[in-house]
Chain A
Amino acid sequence: MKYAKRNDGRKFDEPRQMKAEVGVIKNAVGSAKFQIGKTIAIAAVYGPNDVFPKFLQKPDRAILRCSYNMMAFSGSGERVRPGTNRRGKEIGMVMEKAFENVLDLSEFPKAAIDVFVELPQTDAGTRCAGICAASLALADAGFEMKDLVCAVSCGLVGDQVVVDLDKSEEDFEGGAVDIPIAMTPRNGEVTLLQLDGEISKEELKKAIEFGREACLKIYEVQKEALKAKYKEAKE
């Protein structure tokens, strides 16, 4: 099915408007808010903490624990059942994997670093917004990391390759393929790639290329947000 023009008038390779802010939760060691379009993610980092039960402890490094939660009122009208669910657990797990090779966890042996991602408002692309926010919060907390992590969804809507799908595009009646992708912007290493649906090799390549370009745009927003925290204090 043809998809000639995007519902919100964006170009096919254009991500939604972004906004980022760090230090939004004063109690946390590091925190951040990341907004892309109507999707808002808030991340808070606590720790390093003790690990219980003890068998989860790693003697040579810290473990990373991510939790992902969509708030009950966050959807587009229908109530999201609160509490843990399989989807949240899975996304928490893939987020841990997305940071595993970027964070230097050997600094805190036997400990745990906790990352909580909450979504007060969602319009698709939540795990990507969550990863962007979590990466900012981890950097804000002062943990050693090789690079920031930027994430965006790309994919196929109808017959058109697009980047940063919103909810209306994900539910496009002609079918849509959603590919969340996370990467380190400096050398373009992919730390998360999920694919849901059917897509040809050429289209996949093009989608990833779109995603890569969008990630670089996200990186600029993230960098600015981190620096803004200290510029304000300078005044």
Chain B
Amino acid sequence: MTPETMQRKDLLGIAELSPAEIELILDTAESFREVGERAIKKVPTLRGRTVINLFFEASTRTRSSFEIAEKRLSADNVNFSTSGSALEKGESLIDTALNLQAMAPDLVVIRHGHPGVPHMLAKRIKAGVINAGDGAHEHPTQALLDAYTIRRHKGRLAGLKVAIIGDIEHSRVVRSNVHLLTKMGARVTVGGPRTLMPVAMAAMGVEVAYTLEDALRDADVIMMLRVQLERQGRMSFPSVREYFQLFGLTTARLAAAKEDVIIMHPGPMNRGVEIASEVADGPYSVILEQVAHGVSVRMAVLYLLSGSYGEAA
């Protein structure tokens, strides 16, 4: 049963959301998708509210998605990114938070390379904080837009078999998705090289596979993760070529999955590393749709977090 309201100041992760709250966000996103189909893609709902986008990590995709979502809700937004700002000049996170607080924003969207940073911020400022990605910890709006996309194609989440493949160790997308999909009754298998698989992954309620075929078997949904071998630095994988040989998704290897499988990717893609172009551009891919749904989902999150609920921040 969908609750009527969301009584939260912040969206820091999927781990703390109930299935009912997740349903609420996805259902609300539906209304905002409709707004995105109008000639005038704007509603006055957050008129006069200020949203600050605080991106300590470079990001074109997520940031522009949030920006568009904010503008479509008629909010005023301000962007802080790392280059050339105080963020780069070594200002401590605490000072940044206090300065932000002094500007009295209504919502802050933050992406940072270190886990726990949105949580630190949320404790110190009155504004609602939306986690746009904190290190390898969580990326809640990504998991929500992924779930929205799956639901539109499959009509449900419960009972689906979802395979997530790639650099599991360093991926926040995987963690958020595992939380969400398991909460909503899907079965998740994560697959990837042993050197990029966290030791205790099974404790998160997923099956672990070390070959592509095992991971993909009977999958309804395949999520490919971006592999950044240059980021590994810790001797995890010898070369891009070997990675593609073992784990690259090609049309031939798709055979193990279900006939009506859909292929997803949080972007940006490394064509020829984790996914072959033929698959990325092929009939099973819903990758571009994910991007479109990102705006609707983020509008829903911004809308739901901007109520007042009598709680002193």
Do A and B make up one complex? no
